[in-house]
Structure 1
Amino acid sequence: MKRMAMTTLNETMQQIEKEINNNPEPISGMDTIYKFVIDGEAYQLQLKDGKAELLSDAEVDADCTLKMSYDNFQKFLAGKLNGMTAFMTGKLKIDGDMTKALKLESIVKKYELDI
């Protein structure tokens, strides 16, 4: 993935969607909706049938909601912030299915997200 350091959250989310769709193997067999609340902005990402799709926030209920700052989100995507450490230190709040949150971190590691 291209560097996202100077991108907006919306651009970052669109780039994530594009990267996953360009390499769908890591999400094969998944049917999960993640909601990201980043500095108060909400985005939903549906991973289903080997495709990623950004959904409008009110469209459906998410399986897992992750809340964090944009700075920490970028670090998480780049592999510079461990999800469990972020959760334990309060940098990440998780609502919903914790196993899906853990799965997300393993998926992110399969993509080259150079932030």
Structure 2
Amino acid sequence: MSVNVPGFKSSVVFDQIEKALQSETVKKETINKTKGVFELGIKNAEGKEQIWTLDLKKEGTVKTGKAGKADCTIKMDDAVFIEIASGKLNSQKAFMTGKMKITGNIMLSTKLNNVLELAPRSKL
């Protein structure tokens, strides 16, 4: 099932992460570094919300929708997510200024940047 959702610029990032995780080596390294499940709620310009779940605890998968219990839930606008993924905005600054909301294991959220590096910035 594709993680690409029409109307969301963020889809490109999740698609790239999913492709990177197809490599068993990358998958194992990412799971070992991350050890958590992220649920990302992204709201697009039309106000629609889409959820992506990154299981980087056991499976090493990217899925649309909720998939079990997340260790860390993050919500933000599509444009903010793209800025963070492209390196134009620091995720800590986004959190401190209220552009990103985090619930659950806040310390795990610091590992999101490592995961986003799986998506080549040149494609954003």
Q: 1:1-115, aligned counterparts within 5 Å?
A: 8-22=9-23, 23-24=26-27, 26-29=29-32, 30-39=34-43, 40-48=49-57, 52-109=60-117, 112-114=120-122, 115=124
The one-letter amino acid of 1:42's match is I
Q: Could you say what secondary structure the match of 2:111 adopts?
A: helix
Q: Distance in 2 between matches of 1:24 and 1:111?
A: 13
**Unmatched segments (≥5 aa) in structure 2:** 1-6, 44-48
Superposed displacement of residue 93, structure 1: 0.5
The alignment-based identity, stated in percent, is 28
Instruction: Name the TM-score, length of structure 1 as normaliser.
Output: 0.76
Partner of 2:3: none
- Cα pair 1:26 1:107 within 8 Å, conserved: no
Q: Could you say what secondary structure the match of 2:103 adopts?
A: strand
Q: Give the alignment's Cα RMSD to 1 decimal.
A: 2.5
Runs of 4+ in 1 over 6 A off after TM superposition: none
- Cα pair 1:31 1:47 within 8 Å, conserved: yes
Instruction: Name the TM-score, length of structure 2 as normaliser.
Output: 0.72
